[in-house]
Amino acid sequence: MTFPQKGDTAPDFTLPTDGGADFSLAEHRGKKVVLFFYPKDDTSGCTAEALAFTALKDEFSGHGAVVVGISPDNVKKHAKFRDKHELDVILASDEEKKVLETYGVWVEKSMYGRKYMGVQRSTVLVGEDGTVLESWWKVKVPGHAEAVLAAVESA
Q: Active site includes 53? A: no
DSSP E strand stretches across the chain: 14-16, 22-24, 32-37, 65-71, 90-93, 106-111, 114-119, 122-126, 132-136
Cβ atoms of 19 and 29 closer than 8 Å: no
pLDDT tens digit string along 85-104?
A: 999 999 999 999 999 999 99
Could you give the C-alpha distances from 77 to 5, 100, 126, in angstroms and in order? 30, 18, 26
Q: What is the pLDDT of residue 64?
A: 95
Q: What is the pLDDT of residue 38?
A: 98
pLDDT at position 13 over 90: yes
Q: What is the pLDDT of residue 155?
A: 87
pLDDT band at 111 (very low <50, low <70, confident <90, very high): confident
| Averaged pLDDT, 112-131 | 95
Catalytic-labelled residue, pool 34, 46, 79, 99: 46
Mean pLDDT of the chain: 96
Could you give the C-alpha distances from 69 to 57, 110, 112, 114, 115, in angstroms and in order? 12, 23, 27, 27, 25
Q: What is the pLDDT of residue 20?
A: 87
**Secondary structure letter of residue 39 according to DSSP:** S
Q: What is the pLDDT of residue 19?
A: 83
pLDDT tens digit string along 45-74?
A: 999 999 999 999 999 999 999 999 999 999
pLDDT at position 106 over 90: yes
The more confident residue out of 5 and 20 is: 5
